Amino acid sequence: MSRRPTAAQRSQGIPEATIARLPVYLRVLYSCAEQGIATVSSEELAAAAGVNSAKLRKDLSHLGSYGTRGVGYDVDYLVYQVSRELGLTQDWPVAIVGAGNLGRALANYGGFASRGFRIAAVLDVDSEVIGTEVADGLVVVNAEAIEEVVARHGVSIGVIATPATSAQDVCDRLVAAGVTSILSFAPVTLTVPPGVDVRKVELSIELQILAFHAQRRSVVRVAPDGKRHYQSGVDLAALASGVAAGDSAVTTP
């Protein structure tokens, strides 16, 4: 007799690319639920998530969810399935190390609690910051007490919002205290032992990528006369190749 795979068994076989897309699907599903939408088709969900419907159906099949032909997916149930697979059906205590502007902003972000993440502590080494309230009922603790804080609150996830120079030391202390999941905003590559997961968020790189795409979109402007005008910042090699090809419509603003 065949048995349906358990959630743990399915998780072991889910591709990393699928796991990376699940939070995107969940965000769309939350939006549907907030709008009172009870069911959603694979085409609608895929379009909102920015993927094709075949890929979405394959991703969700790893969760054991196949929808109903002609009806689609039950939004509430799919929220539960994706949340369960991502481990969001339980409470995850989070410690933020670094109470600067970024750390304070993270501590005050209301979206964490509704997604299963509880900010248990915020820590810093600055004596002028220690003891100050950064969020409702959340007072900055001395970072020297990282190990004690992790043990007391059962911290599962550590967030590093410190300067690059101190990030590795903070990471080492979190790992030594038993934290195996770390989200780092520090602009440095962290070294961790096997069994520790690190996700790096480097805002400057994301902005540079956006700048690249913004530049690409603004390179060529088509004038009413049909001529192409190259904007400032255009790649000179591209401009030269256009001239070399005999492009008589190449002009400058």
Q: For residue 234, what pLDDT band results from cuts at 50, 70 and 90?
A: very low
pLDDT digit string, tens, across residues 86-100? 888 788 999 999 999
Q: What span, in angstroms and rounded, lies between the C-alpha atoms of 126 and 132?
A: 11
Q: Is residue 187 part of a domain?
A: yes
SS (H, E, C) 92-128: EEEEEECCCHHHHHHHCCCHHHHCCEEEEEEEECCCC
Q: Is residue 150 part of a domain?
A: yes
Q: Is residue 211 part of a domain?
A: yes
Consecutive H or E run containing 194? none
Given 60, 86, 112, the domain boundary residue is 86
Q: For residue 226, what pLDDT band results from cuts at 50, 70 and 90?
A: low
| Mean pLDDT of all residues in 157-179 | 96
Contact 184, 160 (CB under 8 A): yes
Q: Is residue 177 part of a domain?
A: yes
Query: Which of 2-16, 53-67, 133-147, 228-242 has maximum average pLDDT?
Result: 133-147
| CATH number of the domain where residue 13 is located | 1.10.10.10
Percent of the chain having pLDDT more than 90?
59
Given 32, 61, 86, the domain boundary residue is 86
Q: Is the pTM of this model over 0.75?
A: no
Query: What total of structural domains would you count in the chain?
Result: 3
Q: What span, in angstroms and rounded, lies between the C-alpha atoms of 211 and 228?
A: 22
Instruction: Tell me, yes or no, whether 237 and 152 share the same domain.
Output: no
- How crowded is residue 142: how many other Cβ atoms within 10 Å of its Cβ? 16
Q: Is residue 126 part of a domain?
A: yes
**Which domain range does residue 211 map to?**
205-251
Instruction: Tell me, yes or no, whether 139 and 184 share the same domain.
Output: yes
Please give the pLDDT value at position 67. 77
Q: For residue 160, what pLDDT band results from cuts at 50, 70 and 90?
A: very high
Please give the pLDDT value at position 64. 86
Strands 228-230, 220-222: pairing is: antiparallel
Please give the pLDDT value at position 5. 37
Residue 136's identity, in one-letter code, is D
Q: Is residue 1 part of a domain?
A: no
